[in-house]
Amino acid sequence: MLKFEDVERVPIFGDLLKEKIKEKVKEAEEELKEEVEEKVLRANILAVLTSRFGHVNGNTARMINSIDKPRTLQAVFQRALKAQSLTDVKTMLEAKKRARRKKAA
């Protein structure tokens, strides 16, 4: 059976393999970075809302946790910082949810 070390020793295969590994590692790093950024933004949004308005109900938290785009999370975070009430934030979240549904349909 052919081993990784054997393939690596053949110059053309070794170079191709190393190149492919580098690409995959870079892709994984980028995905992980985005995932961490999303988690941090969600946590920050919930922390700001809790700090400013008190308890955040489960429905609102679920809407926030369902957002999977950093740009949208950043917009929600900015709104959470400036909103006059939790209702303002909920209204925006519901509008974004409806817009996502329309896009999906």
The answer to whether residue 64 sits within a structural domain is: yes
The answer to whether residue 1 sits within a structural domain is: no
Total count of domains within the chain:
1
The answer to whether residue 26 sits within a structural domain is: yes
Residue 2 has pLDDT above 60, yes or no: no
The answer to whether residue 38 sits within a structural domain is: yes
**Helix (H) or strand (E) segment spanning residue 4:** helix 4-9
Low-confidence winner among 8-12, 29-33, 56-60, 98-102 (lowest mean pLDDT): 8-12
Contacts of 38 (CB under 8 A, 6+ apart): 67, 68, 70, 73
The answer to whether residue 58 sits within a structural domain is: yes
Contacts of 41 (CB under 8 A, 6+ apart): 70, 73, 74, 76, 77
The answer to whether residue 2 sits within a structural domain is: no
The answer to whether residue 56 sits within a structural domain is: yes
Q: What percent of the chain has a predicted confidence (pLDDT) above 90?
A: 55
Q: In degrees rounded to 5, what are phi and psi of residue 83? A: -60, 145
Q: What is the pLDDT of residues 24-43, one digit of tens each?
A: 899 999 999 999 999 999 99
pLDDT of residue 98: 84
Q: What is the pLDDT of residues 52-83, one digit of tens each?
A: 999 899 999 999 999 988 999 999 999 999 99
Q: What does pLDDT average to over the chain? A: 87
- Give the C-alpha distances (Å, rounded to integers) separating 89 from 70, 74, 75, 86, 105: 17, 13, 11, 5, 25
Domain interval for residue 33: 8-104
Q: Give the predicted TM-score (pTM) of the model.
A: 0.74
